[in-house]
Amino acid sequence: MSTVENPLWGGETTKAVENFPISGQPIPAPVVHWLGRIKAAAARTNAELGLLDAGKAERIGAAGDKIAAGEYDDHFPVDVFQTGSGTSSNMNTNEVIANLAGEDVHRNDDVNMGQSSNDVFPSAVHLAALDEATNQLLPALEALEASFAAKAEAYKDIVKSGRTHLMDAVPVTLGQEFAGYAAQVRLGAKRVRNTLPQVAQIPLGGTATGTGLNTHRDFAAKTRARLEEASGLTISAPEDPFEAQGNRDALVELSGALKVIAVSLIKIAGDLALMGSGPRAGIGELYLPELQKGSSIMPGKVNPVIPEVTLQVGCQVIGNDTAITIAGSQGQFELNVRVPLIAANLLQSIELLTSTAKVLKEKCIDGLEPNLPGCEKSAESTLAVATALNPYIGYDKAADIVKEAAESGGMLRDVARKHGVEDSVLDEALDLRKIAEGSNA
């Protein structure tokens, strides 16, 4: 049981706390806040429709506003692993608001008027995800993309060895690689945006099964309008009320987009760690910011701590998506009954990716420096530049030159000369900058 002094919840919340001593993790705070917003907007709508006393409705609205502002987060103790519809958390909200609003306010008849846990709780989850993705995650991704793009411009003339299969490949520029990273982040943000119109469709007004029993025909539209005005978000009616009530496909879709971002960040972080490896026995093409000691026994060792954090977060988000995918497939007929699990994992993924994007930008990308000697060495050492000789001497002869250079340790140009390739051809074909630009065809 929570240790909150003078708790505002009632008997149903107490039963839920006693019944679900599972994780010690309550439902995410953004969901609580949106439950408050929905209850406040619903009460004011019901007053406008002549269904609820105006004074009572305003007291309910004021209480809901305070919950939305985070003033009573401690009064929502129900474990995230609860009844799959979120009924316990909806009742928790009704009880807290009723106690704040006054003795004449009934938790069900007044606070829950025109509503059911089955439409209110998933609506709160959708809107929390929509809000956090729109106002937190997307700005963080945009800032990270801008940081990568700035490095791409700064590094556009730095030639280095390309690598495929972790083996030397034809030269590229460091700027080209960072432009690719910027594009990965940009496309990830686009994928998230593409899911949000579906996330914005909420089942509010469907009450128990999607039929809208016990709610006014104008309730849902007027309540959505209030929520839109207060939040600045675009909130939509569902394409079909039974689709909206019976499944959480839009949240699964959003989670899938988050998983793609996690995959992208894992790839990028892995590349950064490899390019910064060394400083003497690794690839050594980047200097990563030195943030802290890397070893308790090896003096002077520095580790790629921010890429490592990014890699771990990526793994967690992929795991969250697996749980969300399975949860999204659960439930029968008119209701998905794994909504709290989906909420917890989805909002954690959004929060983790938001924080990681900020930290990756501020503590790693913004402070990166190129290792110019390392890049120059890798560019000049790769025998894959012999690819540029193919149009002049053919693949087979170029392969012979590469083989001899690899076996002898000789420079590619010197071995090519031994095979009769003229200096004029070598100068024209083996211009590393032109090779990286792809203009030596």
Catalytic residues: 165, 295
CA-atom Rg of the chain in angstroms? 29
3-state SS, residue 439: coil
Residues ≥6 apart with Cβ < 8 Å to 282: 274, 276
Distances (CA, A) of 145 to 14, 152, 390, 409: 47, 10, 37, 41
Distances (CA, A) of 157 to 89, 272, 366, 370, 398: 57, 19, 18, 11, 27
- For residue 163, give the H/E element and its range: strand 159-164
C-beta of residue 98 within 8 angstroms of C-beta of residue 106: yes
Report which of 258, 307, 300 is spatially closest to residue 279, judged by C-alpha positions.
300
**In this structure, how many other beta carbons lie within 10 angstroms of the beta carbon of residue 300?**
9
Report which of 286, 339, 116 is spatially closest to residue 214, judged by C-alpha positions.
116
C-beta of residue 89 within 8 angstroms of C-beta of residue 31: yes
Report which of 255, 12, 254, 233 is spatially closest to residue 111, judged by C-alpha positions.
12
Residues ≥6 apart with Cβ < 8 Å to 352: 313, 316, 317
Q: What is the 3-state secondary structure (H, E, C) of 27-39?
A: CCHHHHHHHHHHH
Considering Cα of 353, then 354, then 359, then 365, what sign does the dihedral take? Answer: positive
Report which of 1, 11, 13 is spatially closest to residue 82, judged by C-alpha positions.
13
Which residue bears the tokens 């079909």? 240
396 alpha-carbon distance from chain centroid: 48
For residues 163-188, b (16+ Cβ closer than 10 Å) or e, as one string? beeeebebbbbbbbbbbebbebbbeb
Pairing of strands 167-173, 369-370: unpaired
180 alpha-carbon distance from chain centroid: 19
78 alpha-carbon distance from chain centroid: 26
